[in-house]
């Protein structure tokens, strides 16, 4: 299989421009600059590249929504605020293949005719930010970025903008607010960022992995890229696997690789004798699956068909030593902590849910708590400005639907029968493929 | 030291940015069409200079960027990495989100509480360590994980925790 993201990850100093150029790096940018903007966008549309931040919206179509060029500023923002629990792919792209992202940024900026690009990197990613800054300097010196790139007359400045600790800033309009120096509170839409975005100008926000896929599409064509995946889901995907498996890590595989194969072949299967109990397929907000449901294609449509979501393809694997109530409590607290407080259902509901799950886990659950929990979740769902409300409600509804018995057991017995998880790191040679 | 624009500080307005921070601010501003966009980077710098975003530091940032203090405060209080009170020399942040908790993150925090003699959220009396429980650090494939200042420590086992603390103590 062609490796797009992980091609240089095993090479010593694979993050350097020299290594990237030796493998043909920035050739796609030169090619794009000789094409029309429409043709570049057309290839990306043909490649069925869907947004890798989790929403799965076709990238080429999104670019097509950019407001008509009025000669004023237009922006590209790259979402590197990787924070969905279970997800650790964008950090690796930035640390190991920063030029892949920068070349994709340059091609995308050319396609949407933006001359400034901000890479919004979450505050904790110091080493990734260092790598990206060094890579920008290298690329500017080599003429891949900056003024009159490769004699095309196209100018582009790329800036790193660090976040400061707020999960909600991974939502694109909150990210824009945050770059503008404000609290990261999502905006009501419409207008969408493509019409009124950063500094009230037309803006595209794309995830790191989406952007990093662009050079390969231009180099080898949309049709080639589309054929790597499944119908409607182009390319390869970085699957992040964590939890109770033998070989946690990042696996670059074709879009639509079955979840069972990802867990049992690539991630080596379960870590010990304890059998599989549950899988969160695409990051903490995506509805949980039971062991009977893992024969599913890991793409946007495959997971939708089983009532879950591909999200950021962050697969968290639970063996039967895990308590589902305690696990949900952990997630409920996360969303309560990260709610920006703007919408009442989310601001109040996330804390309320965390309180109820805590009560059930500590053995003090009351009759009616489970139904109440379900009711609060469905009252948040669809009733907030941004998807954080849904993201908080979906795991609750999912856990209750699939593991209700365990919640009932906690309430009726008045205790949790699961011992704490022992300290058990899994040391493995990192796997990329 | 005087403010960088050469004006004389007003009564009670004691704080200024160091030359190094001021140089960084000057480099930051041209990156944005609106100065307010430099607010989070400047708050980050200010926190590094003064250890915490106290009221007088908020005023300093407000004056330097020409943004009303209420707006500076609204942003400063929204983000968890912008400290409102000083943290220890070594800020130990343990991820206890889902992937780390499945591999024993709670044990990591409890062990650190025992070894440091403080609870999560507290700072040791000598000011050397602050222990925090944090949300997902994006390192789930190498869980459990903690960050000490800017460095990730992954695949934590008992020895690794001891080793990291000792390295901090040695300086």
CB–CB of B150 and A178 under 8 A? no
Span A56-74, average pLDDT: 96
A177, A109: one domain: yes
CB–CB of B138 and A125 under 8 A? yes
Between vectors from CA B138 to CA B137 and to CA B143, what angle results, nearest 5°?
80
A424 touching B (Cβ < 8 Å): yes
Residues A93 and B2: their CA atoms lie apart, in Å, by 43
A316 touching B (Cβ < 8 Å): yes
Pairing of strands A75-80, A203-207: parallel
Q: Tokens 């400005």 sit at which residue?
A: A385
Question: What pLDDT does B6 receive?
Answer: 44
Count Cβ–Cβ pairs < 8 Å, chain A vs chain B. Answer: 177
| pLDDT tens for each residue of A202-217 | 999 999 999 999 999 9
Residues B163 and B156: their CA atoms lie apart, in Å, by 10
Residues in B touching A199 (Cβ below 8 Å) = 32-34, 37
Asked, as a colleague might, if the bond just before A337 is cis with ω within 30 of 0, I would say no
Question: What pLDDT does B12 receive?
Answer: 57
When CB atoms are compared, the residue of A330, A340, A424 closest to B104 is A424
Question: What pLDDT does A428 receive?
Answer: 75
Span A376-386, average pLDDT: 97
| Probe site for chain B from A164, A176, A319, A335 (most B CB atoms < 10 A) | A164
Confidence of residue A431 (pLDDT cuts 50, 70, 90): low
| pLDDT tens for each residue of A314-329 | 999 999 999 999 999 9
Confidence of residue B14 (pLDDT cuts 50, 70, 90): confident
When CB atoms are compared, the residue of A163, A180, A316 closest to B99 is A316
| pLDDT tens for each residue of A359-370 | 999 999 999 999
Confidence of residue A2 (pLDDT cuts 50, 70, 90): confident
Span A57-84, average pLDDT: 97
**Burial of residue A119 (number of CB atoms within 10 Å: 0-12, 13-18, 19+):** buried
Number of neighbouring beta carbons within 10 Å of residue A355 = 15
Residues in A touching B97 (Cβ below 8 Å) = 85, 284, 330, 334
φ, ψ of residue A203 to 5 degrees: the values are -145, 140
Is residue B138 over pLDDT 70? yes
Is residue A181 over pLDDT 50? yes
A149, A200: one domain: yes
User: What residues does each domain of chain B span?
Assistant: 1-85, 90-170
| pLDDT tens for each residue of B74-127 | 999 999 999 999 999 999 999 999 999 999 999 999 999 999 999 999 999 999
Question: What pLDDT does A227 receive?
Answer: 97
Between vectors from CA A142 to CA A141 and to CA A148, what angle results, nearest 5°?
90
The answer to whether B1-85 and B90-170 have equal CATH topology is no
Confidence of residue A296 (pLDDT cuts 50, 70, 90): very high
Q: Quote the CATH superfamily of domain B1-85.
A: NADH-quinone oxidoreductase subunit E (1.10.10.1590)
Pairing of strands B146-148, B129-134: unpaired
Residues in B touching A162 (Cβ below 8 Å) = 40-41, 44
Q: Is A334 part of any domain? A: yes
Q: Tokens 């407001």 sit at which residue?
A: A67
A164, A214: one domain: yes
Span A334-354, average pLDDT: 98
Residues in B touching A128 (Cβ below 8 Å) = none
A219, A258: one domain: no
**Burial of residue A18 (number of CB atoms within 10 Å: 0-12, 13-18, 19+):** exposed
A419 touching B (Cβ < 8 Å): no
Share of residues in chain A with pLDDT > 90 (%): 98
Residues in B touching A167 (Cβ below 8 Å) = 135
Question: What pLDDT does B74 receive?
Answer: 97
Confidence of residue A427 (pLDDT cuts 50, 70, 90): confident
Is residue A132 over pLDDT 50? yes
| Probe site for chain A from B36, B74, B78 (most A CB atoms < 10 A) | B78
Q: How far is A160 from chain B (nearest CA, A)?
A: 10
Is residue A198 over pLDDT 60? yes
A313, A383: one domain: no
Span A108-115, average pLDDT: 98
Tally of domains within chain A: 3
Does residue A286 sit in helix, strand or coil? coil
CB–CB of A327 and B139 under 8 A? no
Give the CATH fold of the B90-170 domain: Glutaredoxin (3.40.30)
Is residue A236 over pLDDT 90? yes
Average pLDDT, chain A: 97
CB–CB of B103 and A430 under 8 A? no
A108, A204: one domain: yes
Question: What pLDDT does A430 receive?
Answer: 67
Question: What pLDDT does B3 receive?
Answer: 45
A105, A215: one domain: yes
CB–CB of A330 and B97 under 8 A? yes
Is residue B10 over pLDDT 70? no
Q: How far is B53 from chain A (nearest CA, A)?
A: 13
* Owning domain of residue A334: 324-413
């Amino acid at each position: 299989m062609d490796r797009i993201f992980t091609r240089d990850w095993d090479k010593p100093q694979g993050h350097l421009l020299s290594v990237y150029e030796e493998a043909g790096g920035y050739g796609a940018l030169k090619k794009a600059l000789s094409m029309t903007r429409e043709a570049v966008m057309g290839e990306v549309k043909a490649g069925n590249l869907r947004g890798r931040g989790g929403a799965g919206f076709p990238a080429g179509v999104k670019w097509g929504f950019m407001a008509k060029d009025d000669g004023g500023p237009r922006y590209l923002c790259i979402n590197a605020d990787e924070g969905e629990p279970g997800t650790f792919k964008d950090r690796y792209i930035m640390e190991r293949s920063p030029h892949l992202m920068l070349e994709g940024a340059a091609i995308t900026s050319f396609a949407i005719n933006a001359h400034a690009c901000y890479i919004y990197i979450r505050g904790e990613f110091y080493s990734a930010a260092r790598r990206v800054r060094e890579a920008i300097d290298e690329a500017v010196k080599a003429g891949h970025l900056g003024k009159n790139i490769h004699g095309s007359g196209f100018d582009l400045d790329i800036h790193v903008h660090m976040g400061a600790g707020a999960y909600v800033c991974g939502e694109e309009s909150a990210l824009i607010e945050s770059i503008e120096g404000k609290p990261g509170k999502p905006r009501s839409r419409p207008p969408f960022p493509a019409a009124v975005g950063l500094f009230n100008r037309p803006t595209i926000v794309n995830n790191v992995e989406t952007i990093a896929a662009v050079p390969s599409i231009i180099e080898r064509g949309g049709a080639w890229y589309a054929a790597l995946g499944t119908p409607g889901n182009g390319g390869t995907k970085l699957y992040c696997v964590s939890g109770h498996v033998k070989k946690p890590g990042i696996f670059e595989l074709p879009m639509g690789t079955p979840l069972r194969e990802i867990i049992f072949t690539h991630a080596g299967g379960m870590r010990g004798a304890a059998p599989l109990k549950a899988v969160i397929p695409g990051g903490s907000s995506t509805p949980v699956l039971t062991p009977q449901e893992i024969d599913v294609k890991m793409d946007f449509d495959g997971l939708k068909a089983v009532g879950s979501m591909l999200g950021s393809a962050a697969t968290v694997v639970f063996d039967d030593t895990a308590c589902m109530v305690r696990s949900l409590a952990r997630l409920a607290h996360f969303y309560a902590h990260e709610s920006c407080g703007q919408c009442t259902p989310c601001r109040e509901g996330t804390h309320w849910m965390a309180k109820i799950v805590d009560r059930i886990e500590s053995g003090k659950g009351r009759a009616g708590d489970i139904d109440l929990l379900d009711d609060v979740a469905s009252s948040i769902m669809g009733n907030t400005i941004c998807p954080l409300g849904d993201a908080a409600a979906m795991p609750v509804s999912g856990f209750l639907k699939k593991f209700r018995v365990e919640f009932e057991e906690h309430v009726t017995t008045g205790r949790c029968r699961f011992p704490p998880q022992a300290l058990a790191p899994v040391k493995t040679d990192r796997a990329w493929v | 030291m005087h403010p960088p624009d050469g004006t004389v500080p007003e009564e009670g307005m004691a704080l200024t940015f160091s030359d190094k921070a001021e140089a960084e601010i000057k480099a930051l501003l041209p990156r944005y069409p609106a100065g307010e966009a430099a607010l989070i980077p400047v708050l980050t710098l200010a926190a590094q200079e003064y250890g915490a975003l106290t009221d007088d530091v908020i005023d300093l940032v407000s004056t330097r960027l020409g943004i009303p203090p209420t707006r500076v405060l609204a942003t400063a209080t929204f983000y968890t990495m912008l400290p409102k009170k000083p943290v220890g020399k070594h800020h130990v942040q343990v991820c206890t989100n889902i992937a780390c908790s499945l591999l024993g993150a709670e044990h990591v925090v409890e062990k650190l509480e025992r070894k440091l003699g403080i609870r999560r959220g507290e700072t040791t009396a000598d000011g050397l360590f602050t222990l925090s429980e944090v949300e997902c650090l994006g390192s789930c494939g190498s869980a459990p994980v903690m960050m000490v200042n800017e460095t990730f420590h992954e695949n934590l086992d008992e020895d690794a925790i001891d080793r990291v603390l000792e390295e901090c103590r040695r300086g």
